[in-house]
Amino acid sequence: MSWSKLKQNLHSFLCPALEGRVEYSATSYRYVPDKAGICYITVDKKNVLQMSDTANFIRWYQTELEIKNDPDIQIPISHEEIEAVRKETKGNVPEDRLKVIVRNRKITVHAKELLAAQSALSKSNFTVVAAKFLTISIEESLESDDILLNILALVDRRIGKKRILTISEKMKVKHPAVQYFYELRRSTL
């Protein structure tokens, strides 16, 4: 699919409140074979997410430790997870320490997922992911670990007010870029 057709399809799914605010752009270099080009998403004419450069408006994590020390990341802990660790430690660990153990384990997994998603985004081909978005269900895009699929789903007109409000807990553990677009969409309700 050509870029102009893909861009037209993506814009046709854009939430009415975000039309004119969110733009998809791509550049390519015809005569420079080793330069793949740049794809980016702008909001209110500001470059918010650039696919080939990690130096942009959204915070990018460089190490797992940065993610673990980020106070903005909230990891929900369930009673079942605490009970699993209690069984594993045979009940020899105090209750408050169990919560710390569960949180640390979950944040390590979360950090690895975030870093993997970032590296996949920085080397991925925007047009391939965008074309995939147009062929899969909106639920699949929201549940995916792919940052770009999440973003495209959040600005989609098929996601209603009720759905946006019910996924707030899931958005807390997503990449900051996804959280930014979630807040952008929430501000339009």
Residues 40 and 123 in one domain: yes
Model-level pTM greater than 0.75? no
Give the mean pLDDT of the chain.
Answer: 82
Spatial contact of 126 and 148, defined as CB atoms under 8 Å apart: yes
How many domains does the chain fold into?
Answer: 2
Q: Bigger pLDDT: 128 or 36?
A: 128
Question: What is residue 123's predicted lDDT score, i.e. its pLDDT?
Answer: 40
Residue 43 scores a pLDDT above 90:
yes
Residues 181 and 125 in one domain: yes
Average pLDDT over residues 5-19: 91
Residues 50 and 142 in one domain: yes
Q: Which tokens sit at 45?
A: 């004419």
Residue 162 scores a pLDDT above 50:
yes
What's the angle, vertex CA 93, arms to CA 88 and CA 94, rounded to 5?
Answer: 135
Residues 126 and 177 in one domain: yes
Looking from the CA of 98 toward its CB, the CA atoms found within 13 Å total 19
Residues spanned by the domain of 96:
64-109
Residues 182 and 127 in one domain: yes
| φ/ψ of residue 26, rounded to 5 | -150, 140
Q: Which of 5-19, 29-43, 88-102, 167-181 is the least confident region?
A: 29-43
Which pLDDT band holds residue 28 (cuts at 50, 70, 90)?
low
Nearest to 50 by CA among 115, 118, 114: 118
